[in-house]
Structure formats: structure tokens, C-alpha cells
Amino acid sequence: MSEIGSGGRVQPARPGDPSRIGPYRIIGRLGAGGMGTVHAGVASDGMRVAVKVIHPEQAQDPEFRARFRREVELSSRVTGPHVVPLLAADPDAQTPWLATVYVPGPTLTQHVLTQGPLTEGSPYAFAAATAQALAAIHAVGVVHRDVKPQNVLLTPVGPRVLDFGIAHAADGISVTRTGVMTGTPGWISPEQYRQGTAGPAGDVFAWGALVAYAATGRLPFGAGAPDVVAFRVMSGEADLDGVPAPLRRIVEKALAQEPGERPSAAEAAQECAVLLASQVTQAASADALPATAADMITAAWEVPAAEDAVWKLPSDRGRSRRRLVAAVALAAGVVGGLAGGVAALLPGDIGGGRQTPLSAASASPPASAGSGQASASAAQGDEKAERQAANGSSASAASWNQARAAQGAGEHDVARAVLHDQGVEAQDLGESADFTPGTVRFHASRREVYLSYRLASDEQGTLYAETQIARSMCLTLRDVVLRLHPDLPYRTYVMVKEEQGREPRVTWQDDFVTDTGCRSAADNGTGQDTDGSQGWQPDEEGLGQAMIPSTDSAEIRVADGTARKIITGTNGMRQTLGTDRVLGNAHIKVGFDPEDSVMYVWSEYLQWNQEQVESWAALAAGEACRALVSERESAGGAWPYSRYAVAEIGGSGYLMIRWGTATTRAECPT
């Protein structure tokens, strides 16, 4: 989770996100990963924090909960100027969470990809600070076990080591999944590959590789399939060309094949401090020499400060404002057409001194779609509508015209919440779709809530946007109707698309009461399971499982072959994808989720537009599907994986693009 942890930009909160976790007010998201979601939070004193919340599904797993509790215990021991400290945690909560200090700045990976390797005195400062961080970690009996560029943030005053998500005690006590190797290929020590042991010396080995990467911008053991990288690690083939000579000596010792031949983290920190002092004294006058080791690191650190946007605390982001609206309405006993009075009670932009009025669409009678006239009374045609509802007939333009504007406090709360959350959705969709929410109407006898909207995009963009709109509406209604106003009769939401010169038409309807996870919307996406099964869709947890390095030789072989074909195909269509860059294993990866029998393919290259992403996803899905079919045929049906999913991963999380079931080659995407 560190890749999108403390160093990311704040993304808008999503429907269903909490407004508060523990003592922290949640204002948005920093990202998501295999364990859960990282939220941007603010303490009562204004301090910014990163709050990691694990997935509810994982919280129900006693083994995972024990592992998380252990993580909290270990992280609380670690202090020091070059680590990201734990502030608070509740491992026993229904949804466990932990909070750390928010640290602005990119990861080392992000810096190298955008700015290149560290230069001048910065590699020395980096080596000294990260070695000191590991020494502090080891001093309290903890082993990090996942030292890598994604777990180091570059702040304006030096690097910070974070994420002890798979750390364990140096006494050997740990809680991990049986048979699963922890760590990341290329940053795993030889002894861990050979014997599965990971002690402090393993952290030092990874630290040596980390310093080499920071100084050269190259992976010291190269890229490629996990087994290929493992062979290079165990054969000692590190690429250290370009590492400054004074640093190279300590890096070579850290990368020794035998753990006993490596220095301890404390010894490495001391040696790096001497090298750093030499660099600083050469550049500073005698009366300007730094007084402390931390000052020396800051003095030699020449990494420019990254943009650190001010965290806005608007009350109209996420769900916190909507819930407050409902609370005010209930407490004040607002009824009938007094929605305009509620608007005056809403908080404005915090710090801005302005109040944001509610959309008039929810407070006034909506115009009848396509007519320009006010909606007629809902009583007209109710008898016919009731007969239609009893017969299970679908919603239509006629039932939309029969629906009415909100009446009463509860319905006004629903209308405001839907329009607010759809406004957030419009911002999230951005340039990919021109989406404008319209009006909200109610049909009590049919138990339906209607949302009209306008949408302009291409076919794929429309499908994706309408899926997101439907999911957002489902989540909103489950929250406001079922939680705040359970006395309301509604159970179905209906989306009505309005287009210039055409009659309004129903594009979506579903039961938000029975759809507890609001998954039906996602099931109608472009990647719908090709075998017709509605019981499965790829998810964040499965993607997280796929990111765990496999030790199964067949999985490694299939993943390597699939990745090679996808990479070759991707580079062969560079003109279509609009890039001259040759992509490799660092950008396109393959992994497995054993629980759901899924092979995941994901891209971390974020320079494609939507059309290009779809083109790449079609290629990747086809190769993944054919690989699974071929392996199943070769294994005589014993191959356990039958599904595939293609995803894009970025700083704000992930997007599932294509998925399906590998049945025959003829049915694979082309």
C-alpha cells in the first residue's frame, strides 16, 4: 500500500467512504492496495494523517486480523527521524485501521521514473538516512522484510522509510500465510530464496540494492520474470556501474551472498555517516558545518520539494456533508417544501467563508422531461401504475412522467443526497464523459426513485460512466433510505437519459435493497464474465493476492510466458497506443489469485487515454485467456485457473477494464 500511501495526492472520497475514522476526519483518499484503502485524514489540531483501513472481507479472516494486530504492535515500537511513525490504531475494530503521519513527497520509484537518479551529495544522504532508519527498526527487535523503492518517500528534508505491512519480530514470531513468500522480487535476499529465512541481514541486502537503484536509476538485478530475477540475486549478478566509488564499497558488502559477511544496519549507518560528513565538509566552510547527523543529511539533500497541494476541507466532498444535511433536517423537523430553509443551515467551505447553496433541482418541482411543463400530480394515473407495479412491469418514460418531485423531509434528503453524490461522480468522471445530473423524482406506488441525466461520450465511455453512475446511486440510496429513512417505501432506482430531440429513455433500473454490495452495476460492465456467471467479478482483494510473489513453478512459468507475449504485443502496437516508449516488466505484470481461480494482468503505465487503454486491455485479455486455455489443455484439466482480469493501476487506485472466463480459444478476445 505504500506506493499510494502518504506521498499521494488527495483524491475525492467515494460513495460509501466513512466521514470519520477514530479521531480523524476523512476528507478523501490517498489510494488503495491489496490490504485495503488509505484515506486522507485530519486530526482535531489540523495535523494531516494517512489512515489505512483493511478490507471488510479480510477483517473477517482471523488469520489476517492476527497479522494486522501484529503489524500494529511492531510498528508502534519503531521511532526515529527517518521512519514514518504510527500515530494510532484499532486492530480490534469491526474494520481495523491504523494511522501514520502524512509525509508529502514522491516515492523513490516515482522520483527515479520522472526525475532520474539522485545526484551530487543526495545518494550519500539517502544511504545514511535509510541505514539509520533500518538501524532504528532493528534496534527494537523488528525486521522490515519489504525494503524497496516504493517504501521510501523523498521529503524536502530527506528520505523516510515506511510500511511495515509484512514486518515481523526478529525473534522469529510472525503471522503470515502458509507457503507464501513475503517481499518483492529483486529486493529479496539470497537466503530468503533458498531457505525462506528473513532476518535483519536480509533487510541490509535489500538496502544495498536500494542504494544502488537510488544512485543509478537502474534495478541492480534487472527486470524480468520473478524466477529470472531470483536467479540473478542468488548468483550475485548485481549491476553497480555508476554507484559512486566510496558508496560502492559499502553497497558491495551489503550485497554479499552470505548473511554473516554483511554489515549490520547500525554499522552501515555509521560508515555512511562518515562518507556523508566527508561530502558535507568539502562543500561547506568550517563555521557552517552541520551540528548533527540529521543536519548533515539535510545539508547534502538536493532533491527538490515536490508539489504539496493544500488539503481542502470542503463539507461538500464525499458523504460527510450529505449526512449532516440529513441530521439537520431531522433535528429541525423540516417538512414539505421547506428544503430551501435547510440550505441556509448547511456549512459552507471551511476556511473560505462562503456558503454553498443546494441545487435548486432538489428543492423545486422538476420540469417534465421533453415537455418543459411542470410535472402533473402523482395521483394522476396511480391506479394504472399500481397495476403495472403488481405485474412487475419495467420502468419506462411513462412511469417517469408519472413520478413527482420530492415531498417531505425524507424524500428531500434523498434528492439532495443523490444530486450531491452524482455531482461528485461527475467530477470523478472528468473529461472521459460529459455527465450532467438532472432531477430526482419519486413514484411511491411503484416504490421507485428516478434520476434523469445527460451524458455525452463514446460507446465505451458511456458504458463505463453509466456503470459508475448506477453504482453511486445504489450506494447513496442504501445509505439514505435504508439507514436514515427506513420508513420510506422505495426499493428500486431508475436512471433516465435525456437527449436533445429524443424522448427520455430508461437506461438502468435495479433493486438497491437486495443488492447489498451494489455490485449489479459493475456486473453489467464491458468485462462481464463470458460464461454468463453473475457470481464473480474481479476485485481489489483478488488483485492484492495476485501481487504477492508466487513460489509455484507452473504459475511462474505461465505468468512469465503471458507477460512476454503481452509486452511484445504492446510494444508492437506503440503507434496505436500513442507512445514511443518501450514497455517491459516494470510496467506490465501478471499474478494469480488462488481463491477465485483468477489470473490478473495489470499495467502501471499511466500515459494512455481511455481509447488506448481499451485497445491494450483487449490485447492483454486475449493473451491471458489463450494462456489459461492452453495450460488447462496441457495439464489435462488439472490447471486450477479458469478466469482472467485486466486492470490499470495508478496513484488513485485501480480500474478493472476487462475480465472473463477462459473456456475455448475461439471465445477469447481478439
Q: Which residues are annotated as a binding site?
A: 52
C-alpha cell at 333: 423537523
Contact (Cβ atoms closer than 8 angstroms) between residue 483 and residue 420: no
> Which residues lie below 8 Å from residue 73, measured CB to CB, with a gap of 6+?
none
In 3-state terms, the chain is what percent helix, strand and coil (to 5)?
40, 15, 40
Closest by CA to 440, choosing from 364, 333, 516, 356, is 364
Whether residue 287 lies in the annotated active site: no
Q: Which residue's entry shows cell 495489470?
A: 602
Residue 96 in 3-state DSSP? coil
Strands 492-497 and 448-456: parallel
H-assigned helices in 245-335 = 245-254, 265-283, 293-300, 320-332
Positive/negative CA dihedral, 587, 592, 595, 598:
positive
Contact (Cβ atoms closer than 8 angstroms) between residue 238 and residue 180: no
* Helix axes 459-477 and 610-634, enclosed angle (nearest 10): 90
Contact (Cβ atoms closer than 8 angstroms) between residue 612 and residue 578: yes
Burial of 336 (C-beta count, 10 Å sphere; 0-12/13-18/19+): exposed
Angle at 155 between CA 151 and CA 157, to 5 degrees: 130
Amino acid at 563: A
Burial of 484 (C-beta count, 10 Å sphere; 0-12/13-18/19+): buried
Residue 659 in 3-state DSSP? strand
Helix/strand/coil (H/E/C) assignment for every residue in 10-50: CECCCCCCCCEECCEEEEEEEEECCCEEEEEEECCCCCEEE
- Specify binding-site residues for ATP: 52
Edge-to-edge, what's the strand order for the sheet holding 24-32? 20-21, 24-32, 36-42, 48-54, 97-101, 86-90
Positive/negative CA dihedral, 477, 478, 480, 484:
positive
Task: List Cα–Cα distances, 592 to 67, 408, 514, 643, in angstroms.
Answer: 21, 51, 31, 10
Nearest-angstrom CA–CA distance, 331 and 247 = 66
374 secondary structure, DSSP code: B
In the set 146, 413, 428, 593, the catalytic residue is 146
Closest by CA to 125, choosing from 289, 303, 287, 386, is 303
Nearest-angstrom CA–CA distance, 668 and 670 = 6
Tell me the catalytic residues: 146
